[in-house]
């Protein structure tokens, strides 16, 4: 299984700053941030499934544009997977004919460009030899993370999405056999710890506290840093103590497992 990091920044601003999106093999996205916009039409048309962690714009910005760009080039609908509450937000506020057309009825309800599928925490969606399972998260809006499992190798990747302190997340992560990678956020520098708590994100000090709950030893990769604080966050992560030695994730990184 191949995971390409299309975007892992908490904002935009050049120099590879693209918001959250992970491309699994050629046909699955986790989130659809601005990194999706770098894909060619030929690559976009191959994407059959998009799993959304939550409805914030930096995680869905390219979803409407992507469907508009390649919907008529596909023979089957693109499937958007999300929790029921996240799906309701996106349908009400994005695909509502005011912000963007409702592609679940275009060109007609029998042959739409977009279909919706509800995910439930802990319930895997099986796609060939791969499965995508929602994980608990704690954010300002309903949110999940995802476990991505390669059934051929038995190995997994876990992605927190946007989260703050979340005991159920660690309970779920610690149950994953052969966890190869953990991608988890640190959005703010330590000077903004209170803002991180208020907005239900992590900063390096909070992250290192949370990593004390991690029982295994996957490679820990840090995502979602604010562009203007990236160097500060990276330095604070590097200066931290603990057994896991997290490092910053970069757009364009390829993970295989």
Q: Is residue 171, in this structure, part of any structural domain at all?
A: yes
Residue 14: its pLDDT value, please? 84
Among 232, 190, 225, residue whose Cα is nearest residue 208: 190
The Cα-based distances of 147 to 54, 98, 120, 121, 161 in angstroms read 15, 34, 13, 10, 11
> What is the domain-level CATH number for residue 46?
3.60.15.10
In sequence order, what are the residues at sequence separation of 6 or more whose Cβ sits closer than 8 angstroms to the Cβ of residue 108? none
Q: Report how many domains make up the chain.
A: 1
Q: What is the pTM of this model?
A: 0.97
Structure tokens at 85: 């509450």
What are the pLDDT tens digits along the chain (257 aa)?
Answer: 999 999 999 999 988 899 999 999 999 999 999 999 999 999 999 999 999 999 999 999 999 999 999 999 999 999 999 999 999 999 999 999 999 999 999 999 999 999 999 999 999 999 999 999 999 999 999 999 999 999 999 999 999 999 999 999 999 999 999 999 999 999 999 999 999 999 999 999 999 999 999 999 999 999 999 999 999 999 999 999 889 999 999 999 999 99
Distance CA(30)–CA(25), nearest Å, equals 11
Q: Is residue 126, in this structure, part of any structural domain at all?
A: yes
Considering all CA atoms of the chain, what is the largest pairwise distance in Å, rounded to the nearest integer?
56
Give the number of other CB atoms < 10 A from CB of residue 218. Answer: 20
Q: Is residue 74, in this structure, part of any structural domain at all?
A: yes
The label of the residue with tokens 């939550």 reads: 54
Residue 16: its pLDDT value, please? 87
Q: Is residue 94, in this structure, part of any structural domain at all?
A: yes
């Amino acid at each position: 299984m191949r995971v390409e990091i299309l975007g892992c920044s908490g904002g935009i601003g050049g120099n590879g700053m693209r918001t959250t999106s992970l491309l699994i093999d050629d046909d699955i996205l986790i989130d659809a941030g601005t990194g999706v916009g770098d894909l060619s039409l030929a690559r976009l048309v191959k994407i059959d499934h998009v799993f959304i962690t939550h409805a914030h714009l930096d995680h869905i910005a390219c979803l409407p544009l992507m469907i508009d760009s390649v919907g008529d080039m596909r023979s089957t609908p693109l499937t958007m997977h999300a929790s029921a509450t996240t799906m309701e937000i996106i349908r009400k506020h994005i695909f509502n004919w005011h912000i963007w057309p409702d592609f679940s009825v275009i060109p007609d309800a029998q042959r739409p460009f977009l279909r919706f599928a509800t995910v439930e925490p802990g319930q895997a969606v099986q796609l060939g030899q791969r499965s995508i399972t929602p994980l608990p998260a704690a954010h300002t809006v309903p949110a999940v993370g995802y476990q991505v499992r390669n059934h051929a190798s038995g190995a997994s990747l876990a992605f927190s999405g946007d989260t703050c302190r979340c005991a159920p997340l660690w309970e779920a992560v610690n149950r994953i056999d052969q966890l190869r990678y953990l991608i988890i956020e640190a959005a703010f520098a330590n000077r903004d710890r209170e803002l991180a708590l208020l907005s239900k994100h992590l900063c390096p000090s909070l992250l290192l506290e949370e990593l004390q709950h991690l029982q295994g030893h996957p490679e820990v990769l840090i995502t979602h840093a604010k562009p203007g604080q990236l160097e500060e966050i990276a330095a604070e992560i590097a200066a931290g103590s603990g057994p896991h030695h997290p490092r910053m994730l970069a757009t364009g990184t390829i993970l295989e497992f």
